[in-house]
């Protein structure tokens, strides 16, 4: 008969989330806040460890106390997370959480680590109950055997600033950054033989990115001249190297589209020579 795997909890180290509310807190908002704390903690631990370590990423509710809204969270003790950091996973996460919320609220210029769209949305949900209640405050404290190791506070004003920061950063992620790169070596990864097609063309410019990127053209004449046979070479056109000026559209510094604005036809060469 199979038995469930034994879960060993580290009760010596705990994280307390306390919301001093002045108005009733919606159950949905509180639930989302706690769920997203768990999600962000999981992503942080996974991002700071390697798969071979098999570090547990679960948080567990130890106690919900009356007064304001007070929730005590503990983590799985196996494998031993403190091996990664002197203060343990909960302490490191609180440092990371303070850094991120300070960045989103405009207190500091850059975060400890980059945030994905889902992580940004999660931070907005974490502070949601406090943002909706002017005069309220969220206190996050990590203690070890009753001794406070790390803590920070978010009041309603900062919570609203954090949510505004989330909106601002999400807009940035969706906004392409365009810049012009001149005299770059480009070779084809995939090309459409239909000169009227604007889809399916992909090329590599190693000085910008080692990965193939979608290619577009400033006008049809450029595309026609690049896809025509080059009689002076023994290789077909799709195996040649081209010198081009390109606009590079990136999202969060990752190239998404190359737009060829000029083709230096006389500089075309055989990359194998």
User: What confidence tens digit (pLDDT) does each residue in 227-271 have?
Assistant: 888 888 888 888 899 999 999 988 777 888 999 999 999 999 988
What pairing do the DSSP bridges indicate for beta strands 147-155 and 254-263?
unpaired
Question: How far apart, in Å, do the first and last CA atoms of the chain sit?
Answer: 68
Residue for token pair 């600033």: 161
List the single range of 76-80, 154-158, 220-224, 261-265 with lowest mean pLDDT.
76-80
pLDDT above 50 (res 82): no
Angle between helices 88-104 and 156-173 (to 10 degrees): 80
Beta bridge partners of 148: 143
pLDDT above 90 (res 130): yes
Instruction: Report whether 15 contacts 36 (CB < 8 A).
Output: no
pLDDT above 90 (res 84): no
Task: Report the alpha-carbon distance of residue 40 to residue 46 in Å, rounded.
Answer: 10
Which residues, in sequence order, are CB contacts of 36 under 8 Å at separation 6+? Answer: 122, 123, 125, 126
DSSP, collapsed to helix, strand or coil, labels residue 52 as helix
Paired tokens of 104:
């989103």
pLDDT, tens digit, 9 for 90 and up, residues 148-201: 888 999 999 999 999 999 999 988 887 666 678 999 999 988 765 544 544 578
Helix ranges (H only) for the chain are: 27-48, 88-104, 117-126, 128-131, 156-173, 220-227
Residue for token pair 């023994």: 234
Task: Report the alpha-carbon distance of residue 58 to residue 41 in Å, rounded.
Answer: 8
C-alpha R_g of the chain = 27
Top pLDDT among 75 and 193 is at 75
DSSP, collapsed to helix, strand or coil, labels residue 242 as strand
Percent of the chain exceeding pLDDT 70 equals 81
In Å, what is the CA distance from 206 to each residue of 179, 197, 199, 243, 268?
A: 16, 24, 21, 12, 16
CATH level 3 topology of 177-267: OB fold (Dihydrolipoamide Acetyltransferase, E2P) (2.40.50)
State the pLDDT at residue 2: 45
């Amino acid at each position: 008969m199979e038995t469930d795997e034994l879960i060993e909890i580290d009760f010596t180290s705990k994280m307390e989330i306390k919301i001093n509310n002045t108005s009733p807190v919606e159950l949905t908002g509180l639930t989302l806040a706690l769920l997203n704390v768990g999600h962000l903690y999981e992503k942080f631990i996974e991002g700071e460890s390697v798969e071979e370590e098999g570090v547990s990423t679960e948080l567990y509710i130890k106690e919900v106390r009356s007064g304001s809204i007070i929730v005590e969270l503990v983590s799985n003790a196996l494998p031993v997370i403190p091996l990664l950091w002197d203060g343990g996973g909960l302490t490191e996460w609180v440092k990371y959480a303070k850094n991120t919320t300070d960045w989103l609220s405009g207190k500091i210029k850059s975060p400890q680590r980059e945030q994905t769209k889902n992580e940004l949305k999660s931070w907005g949900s974490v502070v949601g109950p406090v943002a909706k209640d002017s005069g309220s405050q969220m206190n996050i404290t990590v203690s070890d055997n009753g001794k406070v190791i790390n803590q920070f506070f978010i009041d309603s004003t900062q919570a609203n600033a954090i949510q505004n920061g989330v909106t601002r950063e999400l807009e940035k992620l969706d906004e392409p950054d365009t810049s012009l790169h001149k005299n770059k070596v480009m070779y084809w990864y995939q090309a459409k033989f239909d000169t009227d097609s604007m889809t399916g063309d992909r090329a590599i410019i190693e000085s910008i990115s080692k990965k193939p990127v979608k290619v577009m053209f400033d006008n049809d004449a450029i595309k026609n001249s690049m896809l025509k046979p080059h009689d002076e070479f023994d290789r077909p056109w799709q195996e040649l190297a081209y010198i081009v000026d390109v606009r590079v559209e990136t999202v969060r510094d990752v190239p998404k589209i190359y737009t060829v604005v000029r083709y230096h036809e006389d500089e075309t060469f055989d990359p194998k020579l």
